[in-house]
Copies of this chain bind each other. A is one copy, B any other.
């Protein structure tokens, strides 16, 4: 790999665009970072790849992903295709010696994720999985406050991640409802994000008991010919025990009317509490048992330059980062790891750990709530 760092992007949907913007802005926002070359954009058909190449400012376009991930002039591959394609693409890129930034979840099954993680370790490439929410300066700040002992010893955790994109009973059936194509339902789409945050705050989960439900058991076919079965879960909840002794719960629903991106949690400590909600992603709630009782209360901290890389985006507090900015921070951390040779986080091994938890939730729920140890 030379200088600059040459990037190939596979996929140009929701997350594909965020990767393109992240690569495009990384150095402009973060400064000192190595130059990034937007080398190769891969999508199908070629005409679309070419159109997006021009829009996103890539140097070349292709519809051949196999060529793309093995292109000799590429150092890093961003994989943002539908989940069931991640494995094959990531393995090919890894075997071609590329660093891989892959969207979450890594794969449809744990076995696939394990294979990916093992390949990366064997080949010695850097990997990063798109758990973007943990790169929020508000989250990093929460971690720092915990590390500094501000809320004492952590004793309890509660987390939720809800959206409403599958709340409407009249929505047509899609591949999202099919186990073979989508794998898990809300656990795979949303739940693993929550696990990534719980891990960052409380460490690994040791065991859990869980329940889940399919709220809308069938959905109408788009062509009006009837209805098809929804094979995966709309909601899931687990009671977890972390290795640290902390207890808590994880809940997710893709059928929660009114929730657009409610990835929220509260961390209970022996001296205070921290709360967060992604729908107000620039705020952190902090309660500390200090000073006179009469002036105690939850504090709303607005993120600003005091908080991690916020200042690279804006020198004034309270002006707010957006969702796409989180991807820039994520990319910056990945590039730092590549530059310095230290491990990126969350890499494939970390993400495998997160995804074990959602699969354990599904396994426990299918076994009538029996305890599953990780």
Contacts and interface: CB of A to CB of B under 8 A. Distances in A.
A257 B273 contact: yes
B322 A313 contact: yes
A257 B155 CA distance: 11
A89 B302 CA distance: 36
A83 to B, nearest CB: 16
Contacts of A280: 280
A86 interface: no
B298 A300 contact: yes
A156 B14 contact: no
A237 B249 contact: yes
A245 B255 CA distance: 16
Number of identical monomers bound together in the oligomeric complex: 4
Given A21-B28, A211-B241, A280-B280, 6 more contacts: A27-B55, A156-B256, A237-B249, A253-B268, A286-B295, A314-B324
Interface of A: 14, 17-18, 20-21, 24-25, 27-29, 31, 35, 54-57, 141, 145, 150-152, 155-156, 158, 160, 163, 165, 167-169, 209-213, 215-216, 235, 237-239, 241, 247-249, 251, 253, 255-262, 268-273, 279-281, 284, 286-289, 292-302, 304, 306-307, 313-325, 368-369, 371
Contact of A28 (B56, B313, B368): B56
Given A28-B56, A300-B298, A272 B258 contact: yes
Contact of A318 (B54, B271, B279, B324): B279
B156 A235 contact: yes
